[in-house]
Every structure is written in C-alpha cells, then in structure tokens.
Structure 1
Amino acid sequence: MDERPDQDVMTNPRADRVRRVARLAGRSSRQREGLFLAEGPQPAREALRAHLGIVGAPQWRPGAVVEQLYVSERVGDRDAELAGLVERAAGAGVPVRRATDEVLAAMSDAVTGQGILAVCRIPDTAAEAVLPGLGDPRLVAVLCRVQDPGNAGTILRAADAAGAAGVVLAAGSVDPFNPKVVRSTAGSLFHVPLVTGADLAATTRMLADCGLQVLAADGQGPVRLDRPPSGLLARPTAWLFGNEAQGLSAAELALAGERVAVPLYGQAESLNVATAATVCLYASAMAQRGA
C-alpha cells in the first residue's frame, strides 16, 4: 500500500514513490526522467543553495534545481543550517516529504541512508549551450574517457577548489549524475559548469577559440610540471586527463599543444588520475595567481 497524500511521514520502503526515486540510480531512468539524486547532507545542502540562488553555476537556474526533497525526521537535530535550508526550500514551493530512515535507505544508492535526499533536475550540458557562457575562462578540466565515479567526482571537486571555470566530460566518460559521482563531488557538482558527452576534437577547438591552450597530463610527456617553460602554466589552460587504465590515446594527445608529466620523486609506478589532475589544476591555478 502506498502512502496517502496527507500522511505526515513516509514509512513504507516498498511504496511506488520510493521505487520511482530509487530507479534514478540507473542511467536509463535518469535520462528518461531528466532527474538525478543528490544524497547526503553536503550534496543536498549545495543543491538547495543552488535552488535558492545562494550559490551555483549559471546552468543551475535558481528555482529550477530541486524537484523533490525527502528528509529524516531528525534532520533538524543533526544539522541546523541544513534544516533551515529545507524550510526555506519548502517555503519556495519545493515538495518536502518526511521519511523514516528505512525509507530513505530504500531510496538511496548509498550503502546506508544519508538522512536527506534531493531529487534534482539535470541541466543542459551540451557544449554549445555551456561553453559560450564561460566568458573569459582561465582554467578548464577535460576528462577523456575517465570512467571511475570516484575519480570523476574527485576531479570535479578539485576543479571547483582550484577555481576552474568549467569541467568537460568527453564522450566515453562516466555520467556525472551517477549517484557515486555526485556524492564524491561533495556538492561541487552544483558550483562548476558541466559539459557532458562532448566530442573531444570539437570541444578543444571551442576551448581554443575561448583563448585557452590545451595541455595533456601525460606521464611520459617531455615537459615536467616542476620545470615548465617560462610562463606556460600561467596561461589560460584546458587540461586533458585520460582513462584510468589506458591514459590518453594518441588521438587525444595530438589535440594538446604540450604533453606535461607530473614528476615522481619516490618509487610509485604512477599517480591515480584524480591525484594527477589535482596537482596539475593547482599548478596552473597558483601560477595564474602569481603564487
């Protein structure tokens, strides 16, 4: 039996509504519905802040981010600021439903329930719609067939922290609206303009038209990140980061003006792509700021 519309707390983890929300963990359901899950306090907090116009990249239009919100009865006890955002969102017309921890766990892709879950709208992520709105970008991260959700989410979070103007996920990369990616961004998903499913060659041409040089993070590159040519890292830059197992292909490397290696001072064979991306993005960010 499903919950009655006037019931205060959702208690049935097998209800139709619960199943519909849970199906958004799958890519086909996300594409069909145009919705995704932001699970847990920090992703939900940033989704609500974007919805209320407090933060958010331009593609996250205020008032058009959060479609539905499901919260634990104890959300106010756990996080007063988050409870205040929930109250403001409810006042702005977002449907808010209270739910038991069992119901929230049934909706969630996470191993354990997170106490709050926001159902959010997927924005327009086409390169033609997003890139012209970047203005005069200084730093962009481009993911080339990065397929691990944790890696993709960590790179997106690092790009946000480094002040990047945007993140591009080329065709063959993981869906950034995968629940595992969303959780690993810790809310940064809502701060940085995103391009998904991009044709890499066409996108790098568009980035070059915006005035960015293209650098490839390549462990075998002839340029070392700690000894770059004078002024290289201070220029507006789009960084290419490759697949976890294969790195950047010959065709992908050919799109870059320089191949840059992160030096290894110890005995590690290589760096994880997310770690390498963080180092490269911060090297550019600090050089561009005169650090």
Structure 2
Amino acid sequence: MSGRARACYRERVRGAVVVALIGAVVFVASPARADGIAQRARQLRASPSFKVRLSAALWLAERRDVRAVRALAEALRHDREATVRALAAAALGRLIDESVAARERDAAIDALAAAARSDADVRVRRKALASYKRVRALRSPDGALPSVFVAIGAPTSRAPGVAAADVQVAVRRALRQAAPDFGQATQRDGWPTERALRRAGTAAFFVNASVRDVAVTRRGGRADVRCTVGMQVNVWRGADAAERLRPGEAASATGTGRVSAAYTPAAIAAARRDCVAAVLDQLAARQVAPFIRRAATTRVARGE
C-alpha cells in the first residue's frame, strides 16, 4: 500500500472512530431516536433501493431534528428519483422553522429555491416552490455568507471509471478538510450574486478540477494505479458578474498519485477513486486553500 493509500486508510479509520464516539454520546441521551435518525439518513443518502430511500424519507419527514432537515435537503438536491425529491421538498416546508440552526436552515431553503427553479421534474418544482414560499422569510440576511466563499465548478474527467460527479464530491470534501471555515456551493446548490457578496463583505473564488489521466498496470496479482489531477482557482465576483481577472487572481496546480490494489474490478475501481481523492486532498491543503487565504486577505486590504 502506498503512502497516500495508507493516509487515506488512516483517515477513514479516524473518521470511523469519531463517528462511533459521537454516536455513543448521543446514544446515552436518546438512544432510539438518535440511532433511528442516523440510520434513516444513511439509507436516504446511500441505499441503491428506491423503496428503502422512499421509506427513509417518509420516516425523516415526521422528525423535527436538524439532521432530518439536512438529510432531506441533500436528497432534494441529489436523489435520482423524482418521487423522493418531491417528498423531501414537501417535508422541508413543514420542518424548517426558527428552531433549526441558521446554517442548516439557509442551506435547506437554498435547496428548495434551486429545486423550484431548475429541477427536471415539474412535480418537484411545484412542491419545492410551495415549500419555499412558506419558509423563505426565515432565511438569514444575504444567506449569512461567510468571509470566504468558494463556488465549486463542474469538473472534467478523461479517465474511464472516474465520474465527474464523484470528482465534484471529492473536491468539496477536500476543501472542507483543508478550510472548514470557507463557505462552498455548487451551481445546483445556488450561487450568490455579486450584490449579495458585496453586501456581506465576502471574498469569493471559483474552484474547479480535472482528472487528466488514470493508468492501471498489472504487477503480478496486484494493480498499480497512477493518476494525474489538476485544480484551478480564480477570484470570482458572483453568479451574475462578468469575468475580469487581474494579475495574481488565478492559479492552477497539478499532482500525481499512486495506489496499489488487488487486481479485481471492484478493487481497481475503488483504487481509481482513492487515488484521485488523495491527490485532491493534497492539492487543496497545500496549494488551493493557501492561495485563497492570501488572495482573500489582499482583496480585503484593497477594500474590494
């Protein structure tokens, strides 16, 4: 196992321990309810079965808990079945109130607004619009934008077996790990306007990624997976602003990674994803996040 693969493995182990400890603490306070919400949220997010996801959404729709709101908002954005998205949209209209933390409340309201505007299914758009009208007054001014915001672009992937959607998820995770104080959103989530950014005093940036190559070489019973990944970042002035870059407002970085895995289709597929994710983690931590922090400080100093 390569150094990056070991790092990925250690990170997963640490994450599992943290989740287990948090689960234990919550279990003492309210065992059945906490465990049920976590379990249904996982089912809604990850189950390949439409019936399981629908059942989980129905169950969560009856729970007034911020984790239920978070899970349903994620389903509204990403579930592939319109019936699940429509149910999530209707439920959010009932569950969102002042008791939901501002960050989660704003994210859920933004998900409703995005679905009402651009969901592919007319039923989902109608449900989302009705719910949005009920709760839009609860949104924080200017969405409580953070001091630094990152608009996540649509990545490109030239590598078979590495989907662009998976790369986008990995980019978001890498930036969250490298800079948890940065706000971030994809275009589907909804991007703030130039006026909103100016009113909030937020320095904004656009980040994208590209998977340029993933090569698999057989070495005995093992697969040697190598990948080349790039990230690009530039100053961004809002969803409705024209691009007008100045010197020093854009940068790019490229990294390579290597992962060893068993020579089986499933192991190779996982190794491809792990290789790309490991390189993105390194680029975000060592190149992209530091560039954004420096550029954000410069923009604030200039009064932009």
Give me the TM-score of the superposition, normalised by structure 2. 0.26
- Structure number with the bigger relative contact order (C-alpha 8 A, sep ≥ 6) is 1
